[in-house]
Amino acid sequence: MTLKKKILIGYGVAFALMGLVVSWAVANLISLGKATDAILSENYQSILAAENMVDVLERQDSGMLLLFLGDVEKGIAQFQENEAVFLEWLARAKDNITIQGETELVQSIDADYSAYRKQFSSLTDLRENGSATLKPAHYRETVYPLFAKVRDACIGLRNLNEETMYAASVRAGGVARRAIWSTALVAALALIAALMFSLFLAERIVRPIRRFMEASRKISSGNYAVQMTVETGDELGRLAGEFNQMAQQLGRYHEMNIEQIISEKNKGEAILSSIEDGLVVFDTRLKVTGINPAACRMLDLEFKTGSPLQCRDVFPDPDICDLIRKTVETGIQPDVPEEQRIIIFQEEEGFKHYLFSITAIRGRDHNLSGIVLLLRDVTRMKEVERLKSEFVLAASHELRTPLTSLGMSVDLLLEHAAQGLADKDRELLQAAHEEVHRMKNLVDNLLDLSKIEAGRIELELESVPVPTLFDHVETVFKSQMAMKEVSLTSEFTGELPNVRADANKITWVLTNLISNALRYVNKGGHINLMARRSGSSIHLSVHDDGPGIPPEYQSRIFQKFVQIKGQEAGGTGLGLAICQEIVRAHGGAIWVESSVGHGSVFTFTLPVE
């Protein structure tokens, strides 16, 4: 028998019991209705006829009294009007004889009323013939006894039917009480039977399901040898067979893959152990769930991975933990500049510099499941960079003095001996003069950049209005713009607060950006200075309609000595690098947006005071 048939049988039994209760209740209601109908049909009509006969008889007796009082015509009329009514109700009483003793009473009423009518006829005859005078004593002796006899018979008929109706009512009440108790008893028995059958059927259905749950728990705990007992041939029995087959397949799959899984796990651990970069894995609660030996050495944890570690236990710098927490909350990897992703640890042999990067781990449903922190040792790179900066600084200092002397010598020759030289010699001397000055600018830029990178730049921060900066650079380039026929305009978006900056250094940045734009903008071109507020910073932009910057150079344009191929115009390739360092020293950022043939936009940010 299938599970569906079992459930249908259970519902069928419940419906059958419900139908039994309903049928029993309907049968009791029909019996009660019949008892009530019997009361109405058998007795009520006779009571109504007796009541009306008594009423009509009394009106006829009133007409009889009018005869004795001398009002003959009215008395006769009243008697005759009610005579037909009395006979009609008497006929109804005869037709509704249903109980014992009712026949004798009806016959007595009929006989006595006939005598009463005859007495009325004899009185009217005597009155018409004038043979005698009607006296009240005659009424008491002859008429009233007949009236009283008929009336008492009618009252007896009424009382008999009332007693019978009362007895029927008592019987109907008994039927109703028996119907109530019997219906309640049948309903209770049906409810108990339905409940017991439901519990039995539910137990029969739920018992295998409980076994399935217990077997599933065993499988989830790793016991694949569990088997279900097939007791029935319904769907649950077939499901038990499929479950046993599944458990066997899982057991074989587990035995087949456990070695491969262990091998892959060991391989992964070996790869992580061989990586020189440090790896630290965090869960969404910033708890360390994995760490490789390189990270343990970097963080001086001595492989203490037995006890649970939190992010604050591993990194004393709270900024790193804040970045990881922000990544967990937003699900987005932080965009931090490279110079801000350096961690410095002091060790016995000196300082160690580590470059860190944060990567989010996502599951199949793309939900965040963890964070990976990568640590790369850049101490040697930083040391090489420091040595390079010191070398550049020393070389620049050493080159400055001979270049100054050489420049003065070339200037003196141009001033005093140029007239006596041939045109070709004069051109060579002029070329030497330009190259010496270009070399001096290069050395000065190298010195400035080395000071900035070494942290020796001194900023005189003050509250500076942005329009003041723009007005100053417009004044500086006024003559150069007129000479090249290039227009320079400024544009402000909304009300701008003052910025906190070193006015001289920021003016140098603007001057360098405008000078680069002027160098590449054609005659009749346009340079526009723009300023707008964005949150807690001010964005300053220099927009030009020059030839633009190719995409392959836009990511390298702020590096040292990088110049666009085919667009060299006598620069040193250090101006934008110095601009970037000055802006960074102010806590801002600088970038470029450009497309070939549509000009360029250089934008940098300064903090609002």
DSSP 562: -
Angle at which helix 235-274 crosses helix 3-38, to 10 degrees, equals 140
- Which residue segments constitute the domains of the chain, with CATH numbers given? 3-197 (1.20.120), 222-274 (no CATH), 276-377 (3.30.450.20), 384-453 (1.10.287), 462-607 (3.30.565.10)
> At residue 131, does pLDDT exceed 50?
no
Q: Residue 501: beta bridge partners? A: 462
The yes-or-no verdict on residue 336 having pLDDT over 60 is yes
Rounded Cα gap, residues 54 and 367, in angstroms? 99
Task: Place 544 in a pLDDT band, splitting at 50, 70 and 90.
Answer: very high
pLDDT tens-digit series, residues 234-272: 666 777 777 777 777 777 776 666 667 677 777 767 776
Mean pLDDT throughout 360-373? 77
List of residues 6+ apart from 324 with CB closer than 8 A: 282, 286, 311, 358, 371, 373
- Average pLDDT (118-137) is 68
Whole-number pLDDT of residue 365: 67
Please report which residue ranges of 492-574 form alpha helices under DSSP H: 503-520, 551-554
What pLDDT, on a 0 to 100 scale, did the predictor assign at position 339?
A: 61
Residue 233 has pLDDT above 80, yes or no: no
Of the ranges 280-284, 318-322, 331-335, 468-472, which is most confident?
468-472
Q: Tell me, what's the pLDDT at 128? A: 62
Q: Which of 247, 193, 221, 220 is nearest to 10 (CA)?
A: 193
Residue 530 has pLDDT above 90, yes or no: yes
Burial class (CB in 10 A: 0-12, 13-18, 19+), 5: exposed
Flag whether pLDDT at 571 surpasses 80: no
Tell which wins on pLDDT, 474 or 442: 474
Q: What percent of the chain has pLDDT over 70?
A: 78
* More confident: 1 or 81: 81
What are the tokens at 259?
């070695």
In 3D space, the residue among 473, 466, 469, 457 whose CA is nearest the CA of residue 495 turns out to be: 466
Q: How confident is the model at residue 528 (pLDDT cuts 50, 70, 90)?
A: very high
Q: Convert the pLDDT of each residue in 132-158 to its tens digit.
A: 556 677 777 788 888 888 888 888 888
Q: Are 115 and 146 in contact (CB under 8 A)?
A: yes
What's the average model confidence in pLDDT over 70-91? Answer: 83
pLDDT one-digit tens code per residue, 476-498? 888 888 888 899 999 998 889 99
Least confident span in 159-163, 254-258, 402-406, 569-573: 569-573
Q: Among candidates 196, 201, 194, 173, which has minimal Cα distance to 21? A: 194
Q: Burial letters for 258-290: b for 16+ Cβ neighbours within 10 Å, e otherwise?
A: eeeeeeeeeeeeeebeeeebbbbbbeeebebee
Position 465 pLDDT exceeds 80: yes
What is the pTM assigned to this prediction? 0.41
Cα radius of gyration (the chain): 61
Task: Give the rounded percent of residues in the chain with a pLDDT score beyond 90.
Answer: 8
Taking alpha carbons only, the member of 388, 348, 411, 349 closest to residue 561 is 388
Which of these ranges, 187-201, 431-445, 551-565, has the smallest mean pLDDT? 431-445
Q: What is the DSSP string of 131-197?
A: SS---HHHIIIIIHHHHHHHHHHHHHHHHHHHHHHHHHHHHHHHHHHHHHHHHHHHHHHHHHHHHHH
pLDDT at 541 over 90: yes
Identify the weakest region by mean pLDDT among 44-48, 249-253, 290-294, 338-342: 338-342
151 or 297: which leads in pLDDT: 151
DSSP string, 328-340: HHH-S-----GGG
If you average pLDDT over every residue of the chain, what do you get?
A: 77
Please determine, for residue 569, whether its predicted confidence score (pLDDT) is greater than 60: no
Quote the pLDDT of residue 193. Answer: 82
Strands 368-377 and 350-362: antiparallel
- Inform me whether the pLDDT recorded for 182 exceeds 60: yes
- For the chain, the farthest-separated pair of C-alpha atoms sits apart, in whole angstroms, at 200
Q: For residue 592, which phi and psi values (nearest 5 degrees)?
A: -130, 145
What pLDDT does residue 601 have? 92
* pLDDT tier at 452, thresholds 50, 70, 90: low
383-408 tens-digit pLDDT: 666 666 666 656 665 666 676 777 77
Question: From CA 372, how far away is CA 385, in angstroms rounded?
Answer: 28
